[in-house]
Amino acid sequence: MSDEFTTCRDMLANRRYILSSLVPFHRDPAGRVLVGDLWHRDLMMHLEYIPDLTILAAETSAPPEGDLMPVEPNPGQKLRFVATGPVLTGRRQLPAALPHMRRIMQQELRDADVVHSGVAGWPIPPGVLLNPMTIRRGLPLIIAIESAFWRIPKGTRAGTRWRVEAAATERFARWSAARATLGIYTHKSYATSLPVGKGAMSAVTPASWIRQEDVISADQLASLWHDKPTDLRILLASRLTVEKGIGTVLQALRQLEETGRSIQIDIVGSGTMSDEIRDFATSASHVRVTMLPEVSYATEFLPLLRKYHAILVPTIGDEQPRVILDAFSQGVPVIAADTAGNCEVATDGINALMFERGNPDGLARCLSDRNLTPARLHKLADAARDKAVNCTHQMMHRQRADLLVRALAGKLPSR
């Protein structure tokens, strides 16, 4: 166990740490809690430095999609899942759901020492209830902002309801951050636009799922690139939705088709634009698009990445896609939109080729550039791997453990 983890565990010994999660959990007939493999990985890492952890989240009667794992803490680790209610599917459920949610939060806060919360969520952010209650009780509030999905991406048409809700969430996010003891952000833009108040701490810790053992060695990198095909191979791994920039990709591919540019792109993912992508793939003659079956992150995704020369990351929002560091861990550079989140870990000409976000002309130029070759992308591979070495999941949590120690010093309730 790292020194950061040990120090944090000692400080939080006999302290109750509440973490509000947007990810629902499932309890099987035997009483075991089951969660997706990525959330499971994150939970187990939290327990390395938080000895008494309570998760507040919705409970779903149906098992979540994807690879599920039972949550089984090690000896000495305390972990409780407390249901704030069922998974809500619309705002009409709120009048019945909110009183129960409030009662559960009030009950759990009675014995809490630290609260870790957020500022967004649908159909209502849990923090709307939890954050003011935490502040009124005088408890330290940890605000983590990994995505600002409520914000309207640049160039996106937004109706009145979206604009009103985005503005309200932004105000609430600023209010919460300004009253937090510690703000944790995935990139500098969030820390600047949603700052903590005077006397509080904040830090930028890039979001990462990759483990130290996931990052290939320098020797493996050389071998993998030697064995890659000679023709350019690009992968798009994403939810196939407008907010993920798929509209930009589709427009760019149509331009390439019109100009007769030949290029191969494989796509793994699903979403509301899946049919449009399939229709284009069927009709195109120069641009070759292959839809791949979805794969398990835990066992199949990283080996899949190794087959490609670059990963396409066309996001138009300002979140930080973890797929960038996934690709870097396998020595694969990215072709990415120049969003604030992407630019936190990807650097044009160093480990990435960047284009203007939401600009299909810019993406088309990038993909049609005669200099976009396996040899050129190979030159970016070493720097991509080096970035991943310094941005592992373990390192992210060690940094967060250290932040908790420093931010909470002298601020925990008396016992």
Q: What is the DSSP letter of 414?
A: P
Q: Judge whether 413 lies within some domain.
A: no
Residue among 386, 367, 143 nearest 233 (CA): 367
Give the mean pLDDT of 217-236. Answer: 96
Contacts of 4 (CB under 8 A, 6+ apart): 49, 398, 399, 401, 402, 405
Question: Is there a single domain that holds both residue 14 and residue 152?
Answer: yes
Question: Is there a single domain that holds both residue 249 and residue 283?
Answer: yes
* Token output for 58: 């919705």
Question: Is there a single domain that holds both residue 371 and residue 311?
Answer: yes
- Report strand pairing: 234-237 vs 201-204: unpaired
Q: Is 382 helix (H, G, I), strand (E, B) or coil?
A: helix
Instruction: State the pLDDT at residue 38.
Output: 87
Q: Can you spell out the DSSP letters for 67-91?
A: -EEE--PPTT-EEEEEEEEEPP-SG
- Beta-carbon-side half-sphere exposure of residue 28 (alpha carbons within 13 Å): 11
- At residue 283, does pLDDT exceed 70? yes
Instruction: State the pLDDT at residue 367.
Output: 97
* Token output for 142: 């940890």
Instruction: State the pLDDT at residue 258.
Output: 95
Q: Judge whether 415 lies within some domain.
A: no
Q: What is the pLDDT of residues 244-267, one digit of tens each?
A: 999 999 999 999 999 998 999 999
Cα(146)–Cα(206) distance, integer angstroms: 9
Length of the chain: 415
Q: What is the pLDDT of residues 8-56, one digit of tens each?
A: 999 999 999 999 999 999 999 999 999 988 899 999 999 999 999 999 9
- Asked if the peptide bond before residue 123 counts as cis, ω within 30 degrees of 0, the response is yes
Q: What is the pLDDT of residues 73-122, one digit of tens each?
A: 988 899 999 999 999 999 999 999 999 999 999 999 999 999 999 999 98
Radius of gyration of the chain (CA): 22
- At residue 66, does pLDDT exceed 70? no
Q: What is the CATH number of the domain that holds 266?
A: 3.40.50.2000
Question: Is there a single domain that holds both residue 127 and residue 190?
Answer: yes
Question: Is there a single domain that holds both residue 189 and residue 252?
Answer: no
- Beta-carbon-side half-sphere exposure of residue 59 (alpha carbons within 13 Å): 16
Question: Is there a single domain that holds both residue 74 and residue 193?
Answer: yes
Q: Judge whether 63 lies within some domain.
A: yes
What percent helix, strand, coil does the chain show, rounded to 5?
40, 20, 40
Contact assessment for residue 200 and residue 182, using Cβ atoms and an 8 Å cutoff:
yes
Number of folded domains that form the chain? 2
Other Cβ atoms closer than 10 A to 102: 14
More confident of the two residues 414 and 205: 205
- Distance from the Cα of residue 150 to its chain's centroid: 14
Whole-model pTM: value is: 0.92
Question: Is there a single domain that holds both residue 104 and residue 246?
Answer: no
Instruction: State the pLDDT at residue 1.
Output: 55
Q: Judge whether 414 lies within some domain.
A: no
Question: Is there a single domain that holds both residue 199 and residue 229?
Answer: no
Amino acid identity, residue 211? Answer: R
Domain of 251 in residue numbering reads as 213-389
- At residue 392, does pLDDT exceed 90? yes
Q: Judge whether 321 lies within some domain.
A: yes
Distances (CA, A) of 239 to 265, 287, 289, 389: 15, 21, 16, 26
Cα(179)–Cα(143) distance, integer angstroms: 9
Q: What is the pLDDT of residues 141-166, one digit of tens each?
A: 999 999 999 999 877 888 999 999 99
Question: Is there a single domain that holds both residue 298 and residue 339?
Answer: yes
Contact assessment for residue 327 and residue 312, using Cβ atoms and an 8 Å cutoff:
no
Question: Is there a single domain that holds both residue 318 and residue 223?
Answer: yes
Q: Judge whether 138 lies within some domain.
A: yes
Lateral strand order in the sheet of 68-70 = 26-27, 33-36, 68-70
- pLDDT over 70 percentage in the chain: 99
Question: Is there a single domain that holds both residue 94 and residue 143?
Answer: yes
Maximal C-alpha separation, the chain: 72
More confident of the two residues 68 and 144: 144
Q: What is the pLDDT of residues 286-343, one digit of tens each?
A: 999 999 999 988 789 999 999 999 999 999 998 889 999 999 999 999 999 999 999 9
Instruction: State the pLDDT at residue 112.
Output: 97
Q: Judge whether 251 lies within some domain.
A: yes
Instruction: State the pLDDT at residue 64.
Output: 64
User: What letters, b where the CB count within 10 A reaches 16 and e where it falls short, cover 14-41?
Assistant: ebbbbbbbeebbbeeeeeebbbbbbbbb
Residue with structure tokens 């820390």?
Answer: 191
Q: Is 415 helix (H, G, I), strand (E, B) or coil?
A: coil
Question: Is there a single domain that holds both residue 328 and residue 187?
Answer: no
